[in-house]
Amino acid sequence: MRALLPLALRRLARPPRPRVACRACSGGGGGGDGGGGQGLRGRRRLQDGQAKLSRGAGSQAPPVRDSIVRDVIQNSKEVLSLLQEKNPAFKPVLAIIQAGEDNLMQEINQKLAEEAGLDITHICLPAQSSKDEIIDEILKINEDPRVHGLALQVSEDAFSNKVLNALRPEKDVDGVTDVNLGKLVRGDAQECFVSPVARAVIELLEKSGVDLAGKKVLVLGAHGSLEAALQCLFQRSGSMTMCSMWDAAQLQGKLQEADIVVLGSAKPDEVPLTWIQPGTIVLNCSHDFLSGKLGCGTPGVNFSSLFAEDDVSLLAAALRIQNMVSSGRRWLREQQHSRWRLHCLKLQPLSPVPSDIEISRAQTPKAVDVLAKEIGLLADEIEMYGRSKAKVRLSLLERLKDQADGKYVIVAGITPTPLGEGKSTVTIGLVQALTAHLNVNSFACLRQPSQGPTFGVKGGAAGGGYAQVIPMEEFNLHLTGDIHAITAANNLLAAAIDTRIFHENTQTDKALYNRLVPLVNGVREFSEIQLARLKKLGINKTDPSALTEEEIRRFSRLDIDPSTITWQRVLDTNDRFLRKMTIGQASTEKGYSREAQFDIAVASEIMAVLALTDSLQDMKTRLGRMVVASDKHGQPVTAEDLGVTGALTVLMKDAIKPNLMQTLEGTPVFVHAGPFANIAHGNSSVLADKIALKLVGEEGFVVTEAGFGADIGMEKFFNIKCRASGLVPNVVVLVATVRALKMHGGGPSVTAGVPLKKEYTEENIPLVADGCCNLQKQIQIAQLFGVPVVVALNVFKTDTRAEIDLVCELAKRAGAFDAVPCYHWSMGGKGSVDLAWAVREAANKRSRFQFLYDVELPIVEKIRTIAQTVYGAKDIELSPEAQIKIDRYTQQMSTMPGLPTRPCFYDIDLDTETEQIKGLF
């Protein structure tokens, strides 16, 4: 076998480096490759081609073959070098699924890959592996973003349509799938991968000076994709092609007739090679990967001496490397920003406009995996939740880290009224206009609605009319369970607080310590989070038996002051009877009871953490820092002190991923975190915005929404969210309505569900003019931050032209870059095209963004700055209770079944790199 090693490879050889051989998996047993004792079956091994090829003797490579192989590899190396100039970390990886042992072909593949600059991973299966086992490995490689090409070295019996078409066409560097073959047959060779074996046959013939025009070619013993590719390429070269199996009745006649014979499989013993006429050109495409036998080799037969038996195999291996480089180039091109090839959904607006639910149900959304592909997401970067929504993995940020961000737009509103100003509707209408009508990449980033308002008085938050997120039922109900995860994590921490107080009240120091650090199988060990607490206390010991009595007391007792507990239980339902309650009334709690309350789930600090984090590790750190109470010495007690940080992270590990949905016109939307600017910071997540900014590309737009009025939601967006994210906004879109301005101008009170008085349904210029003082103030607030403002006047059918013109005129006088009437509610994106143009123009102005206050200012000064600059207050006056809390915070800033004493959550943690859960069982 070694004697067959071609001279071309020996000339390419470099000084040898150690190579770990691919392990065929025949037989059980563990192996020491760092796989944690996993079995060898199906194991993958990434090898960098550092293989020394044996220098066998006796084979002289024909100069044509030698030259072609060298040119192919050199060309591949040069192309890859050019790609790596702009993408230094890029290195294509070829995966080869191999059933049985064929070390020669493995060495050939590895050496060629090394010369070109590629990596190879061999997946070694037993020779007798079933088709289903091979398909399982194929499907794993399909989903692995690190692998750019996949080839099969398996027996002919395994080459069924089911196996071959399991390959993703974009990774099928051997051109065996129906998709690639179909494109070849249609003449789209530039758009597909062509079989390297078939190409090698044609290349060898043409480069050897064989004129294929008019030649009679017999393709013998080839099957399926190889037969089709050979037949197609020969016919395009002007040859007359015949195909035959070895057992065909007319085989001898066809062999005597042929000028060129291409062997597609090993020759049966019963077929004499004397049937082939002297001088006939014979090329061998067959290599039995399991046995190492070549297709022919009978001495004394007078074939043409143009080609050695292994010429095709070697050149095919080189051409496969060339296909790999093409695959890598195509993959890189897909990662770069480009205008989306988005299939937008058509709208046919009706008049009068139907209800929101009727409009939503009348539109059929695209499958979310189709949408994901249209906007540049890879298959392994989404997790499907049914047909219409998916979570997006954070690995996308690493892949697109060098991508320039798009333009960043914040939608805020005038002071809200019971009538509703339509911030969500404007946000959706704007992105529908940008993407579906101006062909600009754009993303909407919305807050996930709370179940409280959905079942309370406000209703859903998916937008409205012909500018909404669909399906609106799924948007408003549960979505993917993020708020439920927040509820579970919040209440676990609440339970941990009261449980710790209970056990500290009822146990001695020693008993408490023995339960917190139990003896397990004769060994007592601190968990990682307990070691962190020891470090925080200044105790530099890791042996539980080495602590002194004083150290045991300090470690074991948090000494929480129940009157300082700020952490409440939560529920995502408006339940007024849980606003105040007494807990601990059961006799089992031994007299420990206290007044407590339930908050709405989205008011939990965990929601704020979710909205402001930028990674799993950052979320874990933020969760651990959450202050839940003070101890009896006035020092803060955190989730980290309670030992629950890892468990909280585990509960939140899926919630951290933004949720992908779509608008009525099929444009993308992220729904993630953040309602209620009056009791929280009221903005969607930093992660959703960051991912969207990468996906839209430098010329695209991300439109995100702040809750409540501009004086609350927008102020928190700038001072809190932008400070946490480091993102700089380009434009503020300030939403107003004529009827809300009338109410601010002194119009009669409005009650939800009660018919509007005539002041709101008839023209009333004085009321509008008086109410515009609110609009003017909100414009001025936005200008404090140095960001241009575009006013979006959300038009209702009762608004008159005079009222609309007045609002737009007064807005411009107040300093708005532009003011535009919008009709998206009744027309969809088409009704907000003017707004989209205004936003694009405003985004081209240079943003002079600045924060309102320095983060290092004392708490009182921050409050004073906001009160004076945003709300126009002369000064502030603190109540005694407020002063006590501020003093405490300032001091701290400078420095169901019952849970057991040591709950399991001490051992539960999440590896934020691999996302593997530790210590759960």
Counting Cα atoms < 13 Å in the Cβ hemisphere of 572 gives 22
Residue recorded with tokens 């100039």? 85
Stretch (H or E) spanning 263? strand 260-263
Best CA proximity match to 691, nearest among 663, 715, 669, 721? 669
Q: In sequence order, which ranges of 413-547 are alpha helices (DSSP H)?
A: 423-432, 451-455, 472-476, 482-506, 509-516, 528-536
Cα–Cα dist 532/641, whole Å: 9
Structure tokens at 577: 């009877």
Structure tokens at 93: 């990886």
Helices (H) and strands (E) in the chain, counts: 34, 30
DSSP-derived 3-state class of residue 547: coil
Cα–Cα dist 779/417, whole Å: 18
Structure tokens at 360: 């939503």
Q: Which amino acid is at 340?
A: W
DSSP-derived 3-state class of residue 819: strand
Q: What are phi and psi of 437, to 5 degrees?
A: -120, -30
Residue 693 burial (CB count, 10 A): 25
Tell me if 271 sits within 8 A of 249, measured CB to CB.
Answer: no
- Cβ contacts of 408 within 8 Å, gap of 6 or more: 689, 693, 702, 704, 727, 728, 729, 730, 731
Cα–Cα dist 285/619, whole Å: 56
Residue 136 burial (CB count, 10 A): 14
Per-residue CA distances from 866 to 35, 574, 674 (Å)? 56, 30, 21
Burial of 854 (0-12, 13-18, 19+ CB in 10 A): exposed
Structure tokens at 222: 């080839």
Structure tokens at 157: 């019996």
Cα–Cα dist 670/769, whole Å: 37
- Cβ contacts of 21 within 8 Å, gap of 6 or more: 103
Cα–Cα dist 544/531, whole Å: 10
Stretch (H or E) spanning 759? helix 758-761
Per-residue CA distances from 277 to 255, 301, 719 (Å)? 7, 9, 86
Size (the chain), residues: 921
521: left (phi over 0), alpha (psi -120 to 50) or beta: left
State the Cα angle at 721 between 720 and 723, rounded to 5°. 65
Best CA proximity match to 517, nearest among 482, 552, 490? 552
Active site residues: 423, 425, 447, 458, 677, 708, 796, 825
Counting Cα atoms < 13 Å in the Cβ hemisphere of 422 gives 27
Angle between helices 311-335 and 103-116 (to 10 degrees): 50
Cα–Cα dist 163/913, whole Å: 33
